[in-house]
Structure 1
Amino acid sequence: MNLRFYKYQGTGNDFIIADNRKNEYSLNTDQIRRLCDRRFGIGADGFMLLNEKAGYDFEMKYYNSDGREGSMCGNGGRCIVKFAYHLGIHRNEYKFMAVDGEHEAEIDTDGTVSLKMKDVDKVRKIHGDFVLDTGSPHYIKLVTDVMNADVYKKGRDIRYSKDYEENGINVNFVEQAGDHEIIVRTYERGVEDETYSCGTGVTAAALVCYHNENGYNDVQVKTLGGSLTVEFDRLDDERYNNIWLCGPAEKVFEGNVEVKES
């Protein structure tokens, strides 16, 4: 099978995307895993198909680099919106379907893509840490020197602990850098390593590090791959809505690859 692919990245979180509106691509776990392999394939944190969806501009189908279908990916969502724009799907406001439900998005004049995330109605506190779902499940650990944290080892220990081993969880290490600024590093399940950025993780970290007791918040987030902004309304300790993840999404290259049967 010959696959026409497009490589996109959002703050270093990179994805292989294919236009599947004609329903011509059907890849299995092994094929996706090999495409995402950085030595034997194209290399990416994830793989996405842009599908037709009645009543929506498109459907986002997301797979982790291990080849298995994943939960919501925030940076992936922003990248696929920019991809849709490059395909000629031009909207003032995009509406698309993902695994966690309907999403809205906008592209600003400077190319910034703003993605509306799902509402959050529960935040659990565990031994001073936090667990919440922003489209994907996230564990938030506040630290004082995040750039020297052993994200791979400590993140893997939590992800494979008895509470999370079966379904997995993304683990975020977060440092408060200022009144409205945090630094986030993330160990991602499905990738099973640290990534340069994680959109749903950045969102979860920003919600936990709110500044206004009630009302509107605007948090600047630094990741290894660049900067993002998370805007949201805080209703109380556990409920947040009108959540937007904002930042760059750029095409890196495009090409064709022969996908071998497996």
Structure 2
Amino acid sequence: MNIAFYKYQGTGNDFVMIDNRDLSFPVSKELIASICHRRFGIGSDGLILLQNEPGYDFRMVYFNADGGEGSMCGNGGRCVVRFAHDLGLFSDSTTFIAVDGLHEATVSGEVISLKMSPVKDVERYQEFDFMNTGSPHYVTYVDNVSETDVYNIGSEIRYGSVYGPKGGTNVNFVEVIEDNHLSVRTYERGVEDETYSCGTGVTACALSAHLRKGFEGPITIETLGGTLKVDFEETSAGFDNIHLIGPALRVFEGSLDLPSL
């Protein structure tokens, strides 16, 4: 079986995109993991199926690099919006459905502005904050993020006694550069490694910085893969009107010979 694929990246967070509106893609954990493998497959942080959904422009179905269906991916959401735009499914603005519900987005040149789900129940501790921004995120602050052992510390927290039994968590390390300006590195579950960028992660970091530092949106966030912005409104219930803003681009396209993977 031969199927077309497209590769997209958003600040270095990369995804294999497949137009699955005809539901022809044979979903299996093993197949998706092999496609995402950086030695034996195309290589990516995840795979996204674009599918039809009544009442919306499309449905986003996201899989982690390990082949398991994942929670919401912010950069993946921006990339699938770019993919849908490239397919001609909308012109300037779109509404789509993902695992965490309705999303809205706009396209302006290379920049995608994605409205994230509302956030409530932020857990605040002395050493870290924890919240769900579509995916669970642990946020801690460091003096020098470039020298932080993201992989080892992140994996220890991800699999630790507190969050490991609950399915694990993504782990974010934040350095404050100046007011409304952060540098962030993220250990991402499902990828089980540091990624160049994590959209739900930088969203969590921006909301945490508002609570801890009093920073107001839009907050600029530097990641290994580039610059993102997060805007938001604080409400009595938590946060709403959260927007993840940054570039998303097509890298290349090709065809998969599925039996060979």
**TM score, norm. by length of structure 2:** 0.96
Are the counterparts in 2 of residues 172 and 185 from structure 1 also a CA contact under 8 Å?
A: yes
For 1:28-87, what per-residue CA distance to the aligned partner results, in whole angstroms no more than 9, with x for missing partners?
A: 000000000000000000000000000000000000000000000000000000000111
Matched residue, 2:234: 234
Matched residue, 2:171: 171
Tell me the CA shift for residue 186 of structure 1: 0.2
Q: Does 1:128 align with 2:124?
A: no
Gaps of 5+ in 1: none
Are the counterparts in 2 of residues 29 and 66 from structure 1 also a CA contact under 8 Å?
A: yes
Matched residue, 2:51: 51
Question: 2:214 and 2:205 mapped to 1: Cα distance?
Answer: 17
* Structure 1 or 2: more helix by fraction: 2
Moved more, 26-35 or 203-212: 203-212
Q: Does 1:249 align with 2:248?
A: yes
Are the counterparts in 1 of residues 37 and 44 from structure 2 also a CA contact under 8 Å?
A: yes
**TM score, norm. by length of structure 1:** 0.95
Matched residue, 1:204: 204
Tell me the CA shift for residue 14 of structure 1: 0.1
Tell me the CA shift for residue 27 of structure 1: 2.0
CA spacing shift, 1:209–1:33, aligned 2, 3 Å = same
Question: 1:227 and 1:214 mapped to 2: Cα distance?
Answer: 21
* One-letter amino acid of the counterpart of residue 129, structure 1: F
Are the counterparts in 1 of residues 79 and 249 from structure 2 also a CA contact under 8 Å?
A: yes
Segments of 4+ moved more than 3 angstroms: 211-216
Question: 2:80 and 2:72 mapped to 1: Cα distance?
Answer: 12
Report the RMSD for the aligned CA atoms in angstroms. Answer: 1.8
Moved more, 90-99 or 33-42: 90-99
Number of residues of Structure 1 aligned to a counterpart in Structure 2: 260
Matched residue, 2:148: 149
Question: 2:126 and 2:241 mapped to 1: Cα distance?
Answer: 28
Moved more, 179-188 or 252-261: 252-261
SS in 2 for 1:210: helix
CA spacing shift, 1:211–1:141, aligned 2, 3 Å = closer
Question: 1:228 and 1:213 mapped to 2: Cα distance?
Answer: 19
Are the counterparts in 1 of residues 57 and 90 from structure 2 also a CA contact under 8 Å?
A: no
Q: Does 1:29 align with 2:29?
A: yes
Are the counterparts in 2 of residues 231 and 245 from structure 1 also a CA contact under 8 Å?
A: yes
Are the counterparts in 1 of residues 221 and 228 from structure 2 also a CA contact under 8 Å?
A: yes
Are the counterparts in 2 of residues 215 and 234 from structure 1 also a CA contact under 8 Å?
A: no
Question: 1:261 and 1:138 mapped to 2: Cα distance?
Answer: 36
Are the counterparts in 1 of residues 210 and 216 from structure 2 also a CA contact under 8 Å?
A: no
Q: Following superposition of structure 1 onto structure 2, how do residues 184-203 of structure 1 map, counting pairs within 5 Å?
A: 184-203=184-203
* One-letter amino acid of the counterpart of residue 111, structure 1: E
Gaps of 5+ in 2: none
